[in-house]
Amino acid sequence: MLFIDGLEFTSIEIYDIKSVLVYRGYSQKINVSKLNRGLYLVKINLKDHTYIIKKIIKD
């Protein structure tokens, strides 16, 4: 599970290393168990129309 806490966001997007969108959602809890192993970019779209990008590694 991936938890997004402490941010006011409008949506979450997860991209694989090839920049293919593999997930889009609106929940603070994201089940990443179905993702393949590898590196992903998590884009958190904030309510003030900015965004944060974080890298995650799925083992």
Tell me the residue range of the domain where 20 lies.
Answer: 2-58
For the chain, what is the domain count?
Answer: 1
What pLDDT is stored for residue 25 in this prediction? 96
Look at residues 24, 23, 22 and name the one whose alpha carbon lies nearest to residue 10. 24
Which three-class secondary structure string do you get for the chain?
CEECCCCCEEEEEEEECCCCEEEEECCCEECCCCCCCEEEEEEEEECCCCEEEEEEEEC
Task: Please tell me whether the overall predicted TM-score, pTM, comes out greater than 0.95 for this model.
Answer: no
Report pLDDT digits (tens) over 17-59. 999 999 999 999 999 999 999 999 999 999 999 999 999 999 9
What pLDDT is stored for residue 11 in this prediction? 97
What pLDDT is stored for residue 27 in this prediction? 94
Rounded mean pLDDT of 8-25? 97
What pLDDT is stored for residue 29 in this prediction? 96
